[in-house]
Structure 1
Amino acid sequence: MLQTAANSSNRPSRAAIAAATGLTRATVSALVDDLIAGRLLTEHDPAPRTGAGRPAAGLALNPEGPAGLGLEINVDYLAACVVSLTGEVRHRFVEHGDQRPLSPTAALEALDALATRARSAAEADGLTVAGAALAVPGLVAADGLVRVAPNLGWQDVEVPPLLPGLAGLPLVVDNEANLAALGELRAAPDGRTFLYVSGEVGIGAGIVLDGELFRGVRGWSGEIGHVTVFPDGRPCRCGANGCLEQYAGQEAMAADAPLAASALGIALSAVVNLLDIGTIVLGGAYAPELPRLQAGIEAELARRVLTAGLAPVSLRAATLGADAAMRGAADAVIQAVRDDPAAWLGR
């Protein structure tokens, strides 16, 4: 029922929901009353109508109901945002600063302060934060353990205990490119299969296949930044040589954009040949730089993708731009409420 209200461009009535679901009107009415009492739905008076018949009141998601707290820690910034149940960004905070010299404890202490600030702003608006999700540039286990984040210098960092300001809130920790890809999927639902590539100092990717995020057997897929593009090339922080992020990461791109575009095209061609993906979405620092990178990337794709002559690959900037990871993190919280409103009502 929440999904019906969320996905409809119009405001469905109780009668329309009953007809769509096959439930009785009495059952729908009782459920709607519960959702309204739980601040998940609002009911709006119908617009004036001429002619026969009585117009029905419409249902919509409640913009003052539960909200999602999206957090991101990256190499050179911390970020937090609060997103309402309707998907509106109510608060956004970004603090720039190099996180690499800091210990995990110190970096997460600063993020905890930013999260507390965002949560307080939400509560001052009368919003209830339903949960938080944190985007991290690294390999993350299901329990929130960051196994390795090479560009931050982290290894086996247990994140939740280092964020005491979020105590009592459900917290999800995930790879930043995965969360960004999920955010992009919700922002542009017409494209259900694509490769999302997040360009920061490091480079990550989220693989979306038929509307589902592909995580791999252990949940660690998408480390495109460590695909080798030049086998005898520059040493990488991961211990290998010639990794993509040494040629197309944010710092490398600023120094030599044509080389970054060529390296990206080489790596992306390998992914397209392997997975048969027709759309590539560039996010993070790549999104605003697409006009400078596009020709070089597309030249490599045309040259290296076996099926380029049959079905050219589409290349576009992320809808959510540089905010995709923290927006995707907040959206993940909201989507959990939409998927299981009973859990929210019974909290």
Structure 2
Amino acid sequence: MAAADAPVRQSSVRAHNLALVLRQVAESPNPVSRAAVASATGLTRATVSALVEDLIAGALLLEVEPAPRSGAGRPAAGLILNRAGPAALGLEINVDYLAGCVVDLTGTVRHRIVEHADQRPAGAPAALAALGELGGRLRGLAAAEGLDLVGAALAVPGLVAADGRIPVAPNLGWQDVPAAALLGATEALAGLPLTVDNEANLAALGELRAGGGARSFIHVSGEIGIGAGIVLDGVLYRGVHGWSGEIGHLPVHPDGPPCRCGGTGCLEQYAGQEAILRAAGVPTPDALDLTLPATRAALAAAGSALGIALAAVVNLLDVDTIVLGGGYAPLLPGLRGSIEDELRRRVLTADLAPVSLRPATLGADAAMRGAADSVIRAVHADPAAWLARA
């Protein structure tokens, strides 16, 4: 029997309706009454009331007292997401840092740790063990607040297979690394469900959730490597194998310098963090001074290369918003002019539909925030699974 012809079980209807009610509360900027949820969803008030009681019992919702008001009638109590309910652990490994955060059901960051150190010499097992230890500290902080971690997600600057394996992460020097298995085996994260995804994809999802306004955009994360998350009509585009967005390896100048990926003239060789620092003559991103001529020249050159690559992507996908995140977000004032020059010159429809360029709402934290948010979104999408566990 085809799935479309299979009968709908009562448990499936309940799961769908639980998600419908939870989503209605989550998307409301103010506490929302049960009657308002019933009106918006088309469910009966009795059904909504029963579902709400289940969601409250499972620590997903809270009912709050209404504000006093004048006039006839008693105001209805309002429903909000429970900040003391399930929470998520977002982890990120990048070339020169490890990071993690705990995010509650409302999307609020409750704890955050970032440790700067070059991860390339350590190798994958040691780097992931260190990240597991960092995650364990965050898990302890969450437990001290009474937060129940429902899962964790890891953001990695490389290609990610469905089983959490990393076929290649060129800037880390990783090949065929079982990242999910190694990280999940650490004592600190034992028993915690774990997913792995590309850092640019998770950063784009974090930006989408943060509400920057656009439903279709390219989110470009600029660190030592450069990745892009592509969001089309509110949905992340992953490609056939889930490996889309490797914008850092688009050839800007095909006869240019060799890249770690094996190609030549890739965007990363002109606009990656190491290229910018080298051109500016400074050792670390913190030393970049936008008032110095050398820094301005380095950023103008990097912006020109970025503009060439981004124009190609805009011509291909017909998006009108580009979001610069990661290390690019604070450098946008120095990058903007040359990026926009190239977009005006190279985008076929630039005169008809100008491309908007803006910094990421979440800045450098976008990937780990997006990682945690992917876990929270899974709870929003299937609260019945959480209730069964709780």
- TM-score (norm. length: structure 1): 0.99
Are residue 3 (structure 1) and residue 26 (structure 2) matched? no
Instruction: Specify whether residues 32 and 189 from structure 1 end up closer, same or farther in structure 2 by C-alpha distance, changes over 3 A only.
Output: farther
1:164-179 alignment, distance < 5 Å:
164=186, 165-179=188-202
Are residue 281 (structure 1) and residue 323 (structure 2) matched? yes
Are residue 33 (structure 1) and residue 56 (structure 2) matched? no
What's 1:79 paired with? Answer: 99
Q: Which has the larger displacement, 142-151 or 22-31? A: 22-31
How big is the shift at 1:189?
5.4
How big is the shift at 1:28?
1.2
SS where residue 139 of structure 1 aligns?
coil
What's 1:240 paired with? Answer: 263
Partner of residue 117 from structure 1, selected from 124, 133, 137: 137
How big is the shift at 1:167?
2.2
Distance of 2:231 and 2:88 partners within structure 1: 22
Distance of 1:39 and 1:223 partners within structure 2: 40
Partner of residue 302 from structure 2, selected from 242, 245, 260: 260
Structure 1 portions without partners, runs of 5+: none
SS where residue 219 of structure 1 aligns?
coil
- TM-score (norm. length: structure 2): 0.88
Cα contact 2:164–2:181 (8 A) shared by 1: no
What's 2:67 paired with? Answer: 47
Partner of residue 309 from structure 1, selected from 341, 351, 371: 351
Letter in 2 for 1:11: P
1:163-202 alignment, distance < 5 Å:
163=183, 164=186, 165-188=188-211, 190-202=213-225
- 1:277-322, CA deviations, whole angstroms, 9 ceiling, x for partnerless residues? 1000000000000000000100011111111111111000000000
SS where residue 132 of structure 1 aligns?
strand
Distance of 1:21 and 1:309 partners within structure 2: 42
SS where residue 106 of structure 2 aligns?
coil
Instruction: Specify whether residues 284 and 143 from structure 1 end up closer, same or farther in structure 2 by C-alpha distance, changes over 3 A only.
Output: same
Distance of 1:188 and 1:22 partners within structure 2: 26
- 1:169-202, CA deviations, whole angstroms, 9 ceiling, x for partnerless residues? 2111000000000000010252100000000000
Task: Please give the root-mean-square deviation of Cα atoms over the aligned residues, in Å.
Answer: 0.8
What's 1:23 paired with? Answer: 43
Cα contact 2:300–2:337 (8 A) shared by 1: no
What's 2:151 paired with? Answer: 131
Structure 2 portions without partners, runs of 5+: 1-20, 280-297
Are residue 209 (structure 1) and residue 232 (structure 2) matched? yes
How big is the shift at 1:160?
2.1
SS where residue 206 of structure 1 aligns?
strand
Letter in 2 for 1:103: G
SS where residue 218 of structure 1 aligns?
coil
How big is the shift at 1:87?
0.9
- 1:113-144, CA deviations, whole angstroms, 9 ceiling, x for partnerless residues? 00000111001011001100000000001110
SS where residue 52 of structure 1 aligns?
coil
Distance of 1:62 and 1:342 partners within structure 2: 16
Letter in 2 for 1:184: E
